[in-house]
Chains A and B, each alone.
Chain A
Amino acid sequence: VAVHKAALEVKDQARRVAADMLEAAEADLELNADSGIWQVRGDPGTSRSWADVATHAGADGLVAYVQFAGDAPTFPFGSHVAVAEVDTETGKARLIRHVTADDAGTVVSPVLAEGQRHGGIAQGVAQALLEEMLYDADGNPLTGTLADYAAITAAELPSFELVQSETPTNINPLGVKGIGEAGTIGATPATQNAVIDAVSHLGVRHIDMPTTPSRVWAAIEGGLGGAETRRVTR
């Protein structure tokens, strides 16, 4: 938002300089955003590039200092739907579909925003299915390397289905909200609940995170809850 405001200020400065150079009224000038050329409206013969304008602006150049602090926090929101299947013989749970809407207001860069959502979903799913820091009775970490810690791999994930939703905020001029790793928030409970739902017909009402095969298997065997399955898995 600060960059946006600064850019607008610099553009106004440039308009004044370009008007001076072309001996035209500021209101008659327009910027071709694709070519970066300032022109008098309706007169393609007149043109000044950003470089011309910046040179003409002299030693002070085209400069804006902007600080932006929002008056209130923005609230991105979203919704995740997970479909999981469980091998009841082994307790292995697998995510087979993941559908999300993550609303970050105006999306400035769709490619980067999607990337943040993809990455966030994977992290969130991994928390529900696999990842856990384990310690022995003396407090030594048992999952301290990538050989022990179950970081999620490509083989354990499906491609994600992203639904677009853009509800701009009025708290800042761009209408933007946060998207950084947004998927982490919804993906974990969606996946966890999908796994439990997949075995709920067997009497399972709760499984502790993460839903490792041993925990899921123990829950199915006893129709047991979290405390009991935890004891069985250690």
Chain B
Amino acid sequence: VKVTITVNGKQVAADVADRTLLVHFLREVANLTATNVGCDSTSCGACTVLMKGAGEEGVGKSVKSCTVLAAQADGSEVTTAEGLADGSGEMHPVQAAFHAEHGLQCGFCTPGMVMATVSLLAENPSPTEEEVRSALEGNLCRCTGYHNIIRAVLAAAPAVSERRPA
């Protein structure tokens, strides 16, 4: 099936097998390997990316790209961890907060955590700790006990709000 997806602002078109998952499209066709394959069954969240239909406003919805067919994403815009920073050399505020608060250890869940956080803060710019914990329930981490991840999200919230154009 012929698929055209705008990945991090760049059009990627390919003829792929019908069963190709979005995550494999991103890793193997677009050659963007920040998005990890964890459980392959929508449980762990390591493959979380942002997806929105053409012309939709905002950052898009967070989806687990191991459970979206590339064909389903045809025509949409997808943002991966590689596409978060604006190219100025500065990290996205969520990335910067994960760095500053040491919100990671092995780093495998981190791209998914960061993308889920961007999505959360777009929907809820100043969440409570409980709301952050609830929002990240679909992203598993086995190293950090989530403690510093939650701190990072709470620390990122004001910076993300500031960055958003008024």
Do A and B share a complex? yes
Task: Evaluate contact between A122 and B140: CB separation under 8 angstroms.
Answer: no
Contacts A146-B39, A146-B44 given; does A118 touch B147 at CB 8 Å: yes
- The residues of A that contact B44 with a CB separation of less than 8 Å are 146
CB of A159 within 8 Å of the partner chain: yes
Q: Which residue of A lies closest to B105 (CB)?
A: A115
Q: Is A153 an interface position by the 8 A CB rule? A: yes
Q: List 8 A-B contacts (CB under 8 A).
A: A115-B144, A118-B146, A118-B148, A145-B39, A147-B41, A147-B42, A153-B136, A160-B147
Is A137 close to B, CB under 8 A? no
Q: Chain B nearest CB: distance from A182 CB in Å?
A: 12
Say yes or no: A159-B144 contact (C-beta < 8 A), given A145-B41, A146-B43, A147-B43.
Answer: no
In the assembled complex, B145 has its CB within 8 A of some CB on chain A: yes
- B150 interface neighbour in A146, A147, A159, Cβ under 8 Å: A159
Minimum distance in angstroms from B1 CB to a CB of chain A: 28
> Is residue A151 within 8 Å, beta carbon to beta carbon, of the partner chain?
yes
Q: In the complex, what distance in Å separates the CA atom of A145 from the CA atom of B138?
A: 15
- Contact residue among B102, B134, B138 (Cβ-Cβ distance under 8 Å from A111): B102
Contact (Cβ within 8 A) B143 A115: yes
Q: Which of B43, B141, B151 contacts A145 (CB 8 A)?
A: B43
| A151 & B41 in contact (Cβ 8 Å cutoff) | no
Residue count of chain B within 8 Å CB distance of chain A: 28
Instruction: Find B102's partner among A115, A145, A153 (CB 8 Å cutoff).
Output: A115
State in angstroms the CA–CA spacing of A151 and B39 once bound together. Answer: 12
Chain B: which residue is nearest A153 at the CB level?
A: B137
B-chain residues with CB within 8 Å of residue A159 when the two chains form the complex: 129, 147, 150-151
Contacts of B38 in A (CB 8 A): 146
Q: Is A115 within 8 A of B146, CB to CB?
A: no
Which parts of A107-160 form the interface with B (CB within 8 Å)?
A: 111, 114-115, 118-123, 145-147, 151, 153-155, 157, 159-160
A111 CA to B141 CA, complexed, in Å: 18
**B134, B139, B145, B151 pick with most chain A CB within 10 angstroms:** B145
B145-162 residues with Cβ-Cβ distance < 8 A to A are: 145-151
User: Which B residues touch A114, using CB under 8 A?
Assistant: 148
Given A111-B102, A119-B142, A145-B39, A155:B137 Cβ within 8 A: yes
> CB within 8 Å of B: which residues of A?
111, 114-115, 118-123, 145-147, 151, 153-155, 157, 159-160, 183
CA of A199 to CA of B142 in the docked complex: distance in angstroms?
Answer: 29
* Residues B144 and A118 in contact, CB atoms below 8 Å apart: yes
Could you tell me if A157 and B146 are in contact, using CB atoms closer than 8 angstroms?
A: yes
Given contact pairs A121-B145, A153-B136, A153-B140, enumerate 16 new A-B contacts (beta carbons under 8 Å).
A118-B144, A118-B145, A119-B105, A119-B143, A119-B144, A145-B39, A146-B39, A146-B41, A147-B41, A153-B137, A154-B132, A154-B141, A154-B149, A154-B150, A155-B133, A155-B136
Residues of chain A within 8 A of B141, CB atoms compared: 154
Output the least CB separation between B34 and chain A (Å).
21
Residues from chain B with a CB closer than 8 A to the CB of A153 are 133, 136-140, 146
The answer on a CB contact under 8 Å between B43 and A154 is no
Q: Which residues of A contact B136 (CB under 8 A)?
A: 153-155
Residue of chain B at shortest CB distance from A157: B146
Q: Name the residue of chain B whose CB is nearest to the CB of A162.
A: B147
Tell me, rounded to whole Å, the shortest Cβ–Cβ distance linking B156 to chain A: 15
List of B residues within 8 angstroms of A147 by Cβ:
39, 41-43
Shortest A146–chain B CB gap in Å is 4
- Min Cβ gap B102→A in Å is 5
Q: Once bound together, how far apart are the Cα atoms of A76 and B145, in whole Å?
A: 20
Inside 8 A of A121's CB, which chain B residues have their CB?
145
